[in-house]
Amino acid sequence: MTTPVTPYHPGELAAQALAGVRERADHAGRAIRGTIPPVAARFLTERRTLVVGAADPDGRVWATQLAGAPGFLQAGDERTMTVAARPAGDDPLAAALAGPARVGTIALDPAGRRRMRLNGRSVPDRRDGLVITADQVVSNCPKYIQRRTPLDRPSAGAPRAVSAGPALSTAQRLTAATTDTFFVATVGPDGSVDASHRGGFPGFLRAAAPDRLVWPEYQGNSMFMTLGNLELDPRAGLLLPDWETGGALLVTGEARTDWSPGARAGVPGAQRMVELAVTGVVELADATPLAWTDPEYSPANPHPADRAAD
């Protein structure tokens, strides 16, 4: 008997089974490609930012943000994306991306509520940029993306760290508690990296303590690429963009998923809960030379007044 070919690794299959969505996941898996289709290539050339996840030289996983004028991302061919930017020296991924690295990336279009993930292998080029060879290319649905339009900040300086430490400060906990969007990088069993998006109304991400962040997982595409990675490797990195100032809060740690009904009780829209034990925090000023308009919240966001599903 022939074993069906699946695009999923054992952790993703385990998470799909725990969620009871194996059949839906098989259907959704058809969207996972090994090449960049023409429509995705055009999408990349229009973007101003790219979120990149990777492990630093100590093995800690981070997510950071690169930016440039439209065209700074290009699909050189159907397997290659070039990035005309690289993390600044204060960025925790600067050293990692100065050499060959496994990376997960996500290009987000808040104005059009579109997003695309490209995961693969990165090498630096000779122009302070990156060349990423694709292993996985995934276009995701518009759920939970808050609509925003980018605005240039002519006064923006170079990205620089304004604080770094092992835990969240009081001000950083407030940042987490009021965000409506963050990105999460995780690691697969073969060292592959994935970067994904999370969105909701402010308050959906909770700073339970200086060293603990908690968030609900809402209904998604059934692939469970993030939670599947966490089933096998708890390392994770979060990026919280500051849409008003162009800054960013980068957090690393270890995450676990609580699949029990009791964990999500009383949390609107939650299918399960994830808790990150924070081990490192870096706050960057001028992470991008952009500000963004006020959000138009996604109609998919579970409203705080809604009752959580049983």
Instruction: DSSP letter for 234, please.
Output: -
Is residue 92 pLDDT above 70, yes or no? yes
- Confidence band (pLDDT; 50, 70, 90) for 230? very high
pLDDT of residue 85: 97
Is residue 146 pLDDT above 80, yes or no? yes
Is residue 147 pLDDT above 60, yes or no? yes
Give per-residue pLDDT as tens, 278-290. Answer: 999 999 999 999 9
DSSP string, 247-275: -EEEEEEEEEEE--HHHHTTSTT-SEEEE
Residue 100 CB burial class (10 angstroms; 0-12, 13-18, ≥19): exposed
Is residue 53 pLDDT above 80, yes or no? yes
Distance between CA atoms of residues 26 and 22, nearest Å: 6
Domains present along the chain, CATH in parentheses? 10-292 (2.30.110.10)
What mean pLDDT, rounded, does the chain reach? 94
Q: Which residues contact 268 (CB under 8 A, 6 or more apart)?
A: 216, 302, 303, 304, 305, 306, 307, 308
Residue 251 CB burial class (10 angstroms; 0-12, 13-18, ≥19): buried
Mean pLDDT along residues 117-138? 96
pTM over 0.85: yes
- Confidence band (pLDDT; 50, 70, 90) for 4? low
Is residue 305 pLDDT above 70, yes or no? no
Is residue 309 pLDDT above 60, yes or no? no
Is residue 198 pLDDT above 60, yes or no? yes
Is residue 75 pLDDT above 90, yes or no? yes
Distance between CA atoms of residues 169 and 163, nearest Å: 10
- Confidence band (pLDDT; 50, 70, 90) for 2? very low
- Confidence band (pLDDT; 50, 70, 90) for 1? very low
- Confidence band (pLDDT; 50, 70, 90) for 306? low
b (16+ CB within 10 A) / e for 110-120: beebbbbbbbb
Distance between CA atoms of residues 304 and 206, nearest Å: 13
Q: Which residues contact 196 (CB under 8 A, 6 or more apart)?
A: 104, 106, 117, 183, 184, 185, 186, 225, 226
